[in-house]
Amino acid sequence: MFITGASGMLGTHLAYNLLKKGESVTALKRSSTDLSSMKSIFAYYEKGDNSLFEKIEWIDGDILDFYILDDIISKHKQVYHTAAFVSFHKQDHSKIRDINIHGTENIVAACIKHKSRLVYSSSIAALGRSDGGGATTEKNYRDSTFKSSVYSESKFLAEQEVWRGIAEGLDAVMVNPSVIIGPGDWNKSSAQLFKTVANGLKFYTNGSNGYIDVRDIAEVMYRLMNSDITAERFILSAENVTYKRLFETIAKELKVAPPTILANKILSEISWRVLGMWSALSGNSPLVTKETAKSANSHYDYSSQKVIDSLNYKFISFNQSVKHAAELYLNM
């Protein structure tokens, strides 16, 4: 099995899941990649035993280097593509497009060439929105009027690369996870939610979103890879939850005080502007951006009925997901 993005939260759990099932794992990383978070998660799951982590065959390279990918994929008939750059900061726009779109284009081209099966982890950010306020499903495609973040656009265009590959004979299936709950690098992506709450978050917003346990994504990707399903995509979202409930649940598991101040749209608008100016002066990335402020006050609702029916799958509950991630946050 070949995995891109193995050092990330999803890639870590996918690699662990595959190794526990007795599969071999080859993974791509940059020479500068920090593997400490991944090692800590493996060590926690394996009660300090490092032997499973040592079974990973690492190859130094870059997802933008087609020739390295071509050589690796020529030796693997099953490819899991989880590598992505997640950011909502303006200075990262070029990097987001390069990694998410062109990196996927390279993976697709190599998989077509070597007739390798691909399971690609996209995002709910790549979807359109349901008309009439109902739950978003796989049938909700974006159109040219859809306004979104650069990250969202990059995941949509990356999906188009996979669909193009499918039209050219690629054997592939895609998953669209909602916000991922799980242990990882606590300074990055959705794992940062736990550190933020632990440090004394004071504000919450009126928005809501879908959430999914990282272990569920890893298992669903494995089952899809070993199924006869192809040319399909699946939303993966266990439960739709308000941000107030999200932060209260995390705070409860971390045994800290939950946020109590409602940050309405006006306060959120002021926050991203002030933090943006401070960022320009300090050189640091702002904690709140225009895009994240808008998202935090929006309501998103997703349906995973398609994957539930296709795989007869039952998701881990939201409360159990938070409890599991919080336990690792406190003990890793």
Q: What percent of the chain has pLDDT over 70?
A: 86
* Domains in the chain with CATH codes: 2-331 (3.40.50.720)
Can you give the pLDDT at residue 295?
59
pLDDT band at 105 (very low <50, low <70, confident <90, very high): very high
Can you give the pLDDT at residue 263?
76
With a cut of 70, say whether residue 229 has pLDDT above it.
yes
175-189, 222-236, 253-267: the lowest-pLDDT one: 253-267
Task: Give the 3-state secondary structure of residue 120.
Answer: strand
With a cut of 70, say whether residue 255 has pLDDT above it.
yes
Structure tokens given for 61 = 């390279």
**Do 310 and 297 contact (CB within 8 A), yes or no?**
no
Q: Mean pLDDT for the chain?
A: 88
Residues 311-329 have pLDDT tens digits of 999 999 999 999 999 999 9
Mean pLDDT of 47-76: 96
Residue 48 DSSP code: T
Mean pLDDT of 150-166: 93
Dist. CA 76–CA 2, nearest whole Å: 6
Residues 26-42 have pLDDT tens digits of 999 999 999 999 999 99
Mean pLDDT of 137-161: 83
Helical (H) or strand (E) element with 234: strand 232-236
Can you give the pLDDT at residue 297?
66
Mean pLDDT of 194-213: 89
Can you give the pLDDT at residue 28?
96
Dist. CA 159–CA 51, nearest whole Å: 36
Dist. CA 70–CA 67, nearest whole Å: 5
With a cut of 70, say whether residue 290 has pLDDT above it.
no
End-to-end CA distance of the chain: 28
With a cut of 70, say whether residue 268 has pLDDT above it.
no
Residues contacting residue 153 through CB under 8 Å, at least 6 positions apart: none
With a cut of 60, say whether residue 273 has pLDDT above it.
no
Can you give the pLDDT at residue 296?
64
Can you give the pLDDT at residue 202?
87
Helical (H) or strand (E) element with 179: strand 179-181
Can you give the pLDDT at residue 111?
98
Mean pLDDT of 14-22: 98
